[in-house]
Structure 1
Amino acid sequence: MFTVICCLLAGEAGVSGRFLTVASVFVINGHLSPGLTLPLFMRCSGTSSIMANLRIYVTLLVLQAVQFEACHALWCNCSTPQCLQEGSRCETDGACVASSSLLDGQEQRVRSCLAKEKLVPPGQPFFCLSAEGLMHIHCCYTDYCNSMDLKVSTAPVPAKDRTLQDLIYDLSTSGSGSGLPLFVQRTVARTIVLQEIIGKGRFGEVWRGRWRGGDVAVKIFSSREERSWFREAEIYQTIMLRHENILGFIAADNKDNGTWTQLWLVSDYHEHGSLFDYLNRYSVTTEGMIKLALSAASGLAHLHMEILGTQGKPGIAHRDLKSKNILVKKNCTCAIADLGLAVRHDSASDTIDIAPNQRVGTKRYMAPEVLDETINMRHFDSFKCADIYALGLVYWEIARRCNNGGTILEDYQLPYFDLVPSDPSIEEMRKVVCDQKLRPNIPNWWQSYEALRVMGKIMRECWYSNGAARLTALRIKKTLSQLSIQEDIKV
């Protein structure tokens, strides 16, 4: 886009009219460039000839502006390895960039070109934004304008009124997938400073990081786990996925540390850690039990739900639901995480978006139909039913830790702790769950307390051998919502 500014420079009388000199200036990409300067002969006999001359001028002006915009290019200083053969300079249709960043305490300066397509949003492009205490970036729009040496302030970053969550909420448009716009994600990931390792898994490591004054969680995959990284990032960016009881996704990026490529998933940080960690450390009140159970059901119900419309959401089944894959937020509610094994359902074609393995997930939490391989892989509801079975086991873990005013407080245990080894095989789980049809013990004394009685009833209805007979996540959510009202609990 360009803007044209015209002005009358001078006038000179002629025999039968007047010569006028008119000049123009183009404003393209925020900077000024000279346009046409033409003499126009205006006859005094009337305005029609004046307008005819002006029309000719404007036509020439538009033609020049179009040609100018198509041909205009900037030359910039460039310090990247790709520019060495070009004499340390680069050409662009966008902007020149100078940046300075702190990496491992060392200041690194880079000068380069930024393509016009990356100058978004107009007026304040994301790629031109600095990060206090981490990176100083300057974009400019004249030839070789990026020769300056920028400094990164090492002064403590003052606390802001706006929180990291406010910033993420503002940048994530309503109705979008869970996460920032794709063109922001790489900038975000490259300005995060890792602080400490907080977990490990089959995929790699989880770190606590700092970004813009707030904590974030960074899940780092090894390069051989690229498919898992890509799949989880893809699921998290499903349209309409964002929900208060599903882990908030921020960004995905790959980073080369010089030795190997790291694959990053950046998400909200929850200091309580997983539900498994939380229940190991703390007992819960009746109110706490209901809040944890209801929020987990709310997250799963949203995941399972299909939202119809042009900006709708497909139904999603988790396929690896367990207490280690559910996080506990600061307000002691749950956020479902680890969607790397999830599958999405296309209702129009009645297909699932990935060729599913019959047995995936954690063996201890596998539903009977998964263990004995009778699950109908072509029917999406089968996967949702398997999630419900696992949710019932998670509820058992929570309810055992409920300190209901003088009742017996039991130590934390995993489901089937008394029936199988610590790392059971599929065959060991199949014998217990399918052949013997055993389930975790629900104590008789739970019947004396309404909240525990309701929880026990929900568990039994989640554990039916016939998946189609199990409750739905939405039905569980409604039952627990009624219980919270009955117990006068604000959730």
Structure 2
Amino acid sequence: MFFFKNVVMDAFRCSKYLILILSIFWRLDFAHGLRCYCNFESCPNSTCETDGYCYAATALENGLKKHTYHCWDREKIFPPGDKPIWCRKEESVDIYCCATDYCNRDYLPESNTSATAWQVLPWIMGLMVLGVCAAISLWWARRSPKVLKRESRSLFAPEDSCCETRHSMMTATIRDMIELTTSGSGSGLPLLVQRSIARQIQLVDIIGKGRFGEVWRGRWRGENVAVKIFSSREECSWFREAEIYQTVMLRHENILGFIAADNKDNGTWTQLWLITDYHENGSLFDFLGARTIDANTLVKMALSIATGLAHLHMDIVGTKGKPAIAHRDLKSKNILVKSNLTCVIGDLGLAVRHNVSSDSVDVPSTNRVGTKRYMAPEVLDESMDSRQFDPYKRSDVYSLGLVLWEIARRCGAMPDEYQPPYYECVPPDPALEDMRRVVCIERRRPVLPNRWHSDPVLSAISKVMKECWYQNPAARLTALRIKKTLANIATVDHFKL
């Protein structure tokens, strides 16, 4: 029995190596660069040359499959010097990359219209060997019904379960899939599922613009999603934000829900997509500019933001633990309002992670900096020790204090008009010198209206603000302490969420 199995395995190995050697022999050519099959109009004789990879891609457009064949130059590969991250075999079945002449032409059978008999011959030989092996295996199985029955269970049960999984994926919502694959607390969907979702999304309308690119509302099987489209020069920011969102154990009800990251070739340039949950109320900045709130909503919003920040700052120890993360750009424009008026923290492109084992800080390579208006004094005067992690957390707490001030101004019977922090001291788009003068030299902070002192909720929250924006970073509250203080305000006898 064991001898027979070894013979069959040797036959398989021989056929595989024979096909590989013949393919290399017929395609080897030292006189030119890597030649690839190309179906672009700009390619002469359906051929392009590159110093990188050939690729074949399949995408869904209006319910129809579209096949693309082209060259991928080495200078466009990310990360540099390696196979493109979205072409690694274990991560995708939609994009196929290879590095021998015309190797991408044979990836999809229907596209191989110009194959010659010599190109087909290795495959015929391989199939013949496999056919002989299959016939011998069938003959042996018939002689041993018990063996056949046992092997049937092992061979077909996984296939059945795979079909069931595929069926459930076709009918599930995004939330169902996230709960199925991550138990609600993991790092997001598997990369294969991410790419599948991204290629089925239809962009509906644009809902925002920023220095990174645009944000669109998209539709996926009747569900709204937010699609953040990065420009090609912001590739590092896109990669970093996707990487942070997929940190293990990051998923939380007060952190913007990550769905997928993908790249989309629109024919002229490559779009970099980051797909997240969609919240129709938009950013906290837009919400406060259009609406006033009551004390109940004030505490609900403040507590949810503090809870999200405390989760970011917390490190969870374990084999699949979560590192502590600092946001570095916390502001009302980077906080979204959910339908129940609680908030989620988004835009993690500038976030830093704490490496506990080496006590070092993982800082992104992007040249972007935080928003000047929300920068802490130690960041403005460059006195912060960027090699330690705690200063980053304390800087986030300072920014949180300013956000709480923005929310509180819109609360009460006679709310104030919405204004950003330090609106009375600096221009609408302040320079670093403006903020440094006001915050570091003059040591000014946002003004607390007199009416807050007579309101128990506003008075309590104003005390929290003051403890967030101390000039001395070490004197500021931690995010966890702020969360507990706000939770106590929410549970007093005369005030219930």
State the distance in 1 between where 2:427 and 2:68 align: 59
Asked if 1:166 corresponds to 2:137, the answer is: no
Aligned residues of 1:172 and 1:181 also touching (Cα < 8 A)? no
Confirm or deny that 1:66 pairs with 2:9: yes
Residue 457 (structure 1) aligned with residue 463 (structure 2): yes
Q: How far did residue 166 of structure 1 move?
A: 2.1
What is the root-mean-square deviation in Å for CA atoms of aligned residues?
A: 3.5
Aligned counterpart for 1:485 among listed residues 488, 491, 497: 491
How far, CA to CA, are the matches of 2:213 and 2:405 in structure 1? Answer: 29
Q: Distance in 2 between matches of 1:454 and 1:72?
A: 77
What residue is the counterpart of 1:102 in the other structure? 61
- Give the aligned residue type for 2:175: Q
Q: Partner residue of 2:249?
A: 240
CA distance in 1, matches of 2:11, 2:222: 43
Cross-structure match for 2:436? 430
Residue pairs, 1:278-427, within 5 angstroms: 278-354=287-363, 360-403=369-412, 407-427=413-433
Distance 1:212 1:483 in 2: 41
Match of 1:245, as an amino acid?
A: N
The Cα of 1:108 is off from its aligned counterpart by 3.9
1:270 and 2:279 are equivalent in the alignment: yes
Go from structure 1 to structure 2 and tell me whether the alpha carbon gap of 1:186 and 1:396 turns closer, same or farther (over 3 Å shift): same
Contact 1:397 1:415 in 2 (8 A): yes
Query: 2:429 corresponds to which letter in structure 1?
Result: D
In structure 1, C-alpha distance between the alignment counterparts of 2:14 and 2:91, rounded to whole Å: 18
- 1-structure distance, mates of 2:296, 2:332: 19
**3-state SS of the aligned residue for 1:421?**
coil
> Partners of 2:407 and 2:342 in 1: how far apart?
12
**SS in structure 2 at match of 1:486:** coil
- The question of whether the paired residues in 1 share the 8 Å contact of 2:91 and 2:191 is answered with no
TM-score by length of 2: 0.70
Aligned partner of 1:270: which letter? H
Q: Name 1:446's counterpart in structure 2.
A: 452
Cα contact 2:178–2:184 (8 A) shared by 1: no
* Counterpart amino acid of residue 455 in structure 2: Y
Q: 1:221 Cα shift? A: 0.6
Deviation at 1:377, TM superposition (A): 1.4
Higher strand share: 1
- With over 3 angstroms needed to count, the CA separation of the structure-2 counterparts of 1:108 and 1:355, relative to structure 1, is closer
Equivalences, count: 382
Deviations 1:102-150 (A, max 9, x none): 34xx8445599xx997699xxxxx97xxxxxxxxxxxxxxx97999xxx
Per-residue CA deviations over 1:206-232 (Å, capped at 9, x if unaligned) read: 011111221111110111111111111
Q: Which amino acid aligns with 2:181?
A: L
Find the aligned partners of 2:248 and 2:378 in 1 and give their Cα distance: 30
Work out whether residues 316 and 345 of structure 1, in 8 Å CA contact, stay in contact via their aligned partners in 2: yes
455 and 118 in structure 1: CA distance in 2 versus 1, 3 angstrom threshold: same
Matched ranges for 1:83-102 at <5 A: 101-102=60-61
How far, CA to CA, are the matches of 2:59 and 2:357 in structure 1? 50
Judging changes above 3 Å, is the alpha-carbon distance between structure 1 residues 489 and 333 closer, same or farther for their aligned structure 2 residues? farther
* Cα distance in 2, alignment partners of residues 278 and 68 from structure 1: 68
Higher CA-based Rg: 1
Instruction: Report the 3-state secondary structure (helix = DSSP H, G, I; strand = E; otherwise coil) of the residue aligned with 1:478.
Output: helix
Gaps spanning 5+ residues in structure 2: where?
A: 20-35, 41-45, 47-55, 70-86, 95-107, 113-169
Measure, in 2, the Cα distance between the counterparts of 1:372 and 1:244: 35
The CA distance in 2 between the partners of 1:356 and 1:261, in whole Å, is 21
1:252 and 2:261 correspond: yes
CA distance in 2, matches of 1:314, 1:326: 21
Q: 1:336, 1:168 → 2: CA distance?
A: 19
CA 1:299–1:119 in structure 2 vs 1: closer, same or farther (change >3 Å)? Answer: closer
- 8 A Cα contact 2:174 2:259, kept in partner: no
State the one-letter code of the partner of 2:465. M
State the AA in 1 paired with 2:424: D
Look up the equivalent residue of 2:291 and give its one-letter code: Y
**Contact (CA 8 Å) 1:203, 1:222: kept in 2 or not?**
yes
SS of the aligned residue for 2:385 comes to: coil
| SS of match in other structure, 1:250 | strand
Structure 1 residue 164, shift from structure 2 partner? 3.1
Deviation at 1:99, TM superposition (A): 7.8
Aligned-residue sequence identity (percent) comes to: 56
Structure 2 counterpart of 1:102, one-letter code: E
- SS of the equivalent of 2:353 reads strand
Aligned to 2:186: 176
What amino acid sits opposite 1:460 in the alignment? K
Q: What letter corresponds to residue 2 of structure 2 in structure 1?
A: T
* Equivalent pair of 1:359/1:371 in contact (CA under 8 Å): no
Q: CA deviation at 1:168?
A: 2.7
- Asked if the contact 1:253/1:264 (under 8 Å) is kept, the reply is yes
Q: 1:319–1:386: 8 Å Cα contact kept in structure 2?
A: yes
- CA deviation digits over 1:49-76, x for unaligned, max 9? xxxxxxxxx23432244246546789xx
1:464 and 1:359 mapped to 2: Cα distance? 26
- Cα–Cα, structure 1 residues 412 and 258, in superposed 2: closer, same or farther, change >3 Å? same
Q: Please list the CA deviations of residues 322-351 of structure 1 after superposition, one character each: whole Å capped at 9, or x if unmatched.
A: 000001111111110011111111122111
Q: In 2, Cα distance between the equivalents of 1:98 and 1:256?
A: 10
Whole-angstrom CA distance in 1 between matches of 2:428 and 2:58: 52
SS in structure 1 at match of 2:491: helix
1:91 aligned partner:
none
Gapped runs of 5+ residues in structure 1?
1-57, 75-79, 88-96, 121-125, 128-142, 148-159
The residue that corresponds to 2:23 in the other structure is none
User: TM-score under structure 1 normalisation?
Assistant: 0.70
Question: In structure 1, what is the Cα distance between the partners aligned to 2:496 and 2:228?
Answer: 33
Taking the aligned partners of 1:72 and 1:173, their CA distance within structure 2 comes to: 43
Asked whether the equivalents of residues 240 and 364 of structure 2 are also in contact (C-alpha less than 8 Å), the reply is: no
Question: Deviation at 1:419?
Answer: 1.2
Structure 2 counterpart of 1:187: 196
1: CA distance between counterparts of 2:67 and 2:365? 45
**Distance change (3 Å), C-alpha of 1:175 and 1:108:** closer
Q: Give 1:9-88 correspondences, 5 Å limit.
A: 58-67=1-10, 70=13, 81=37
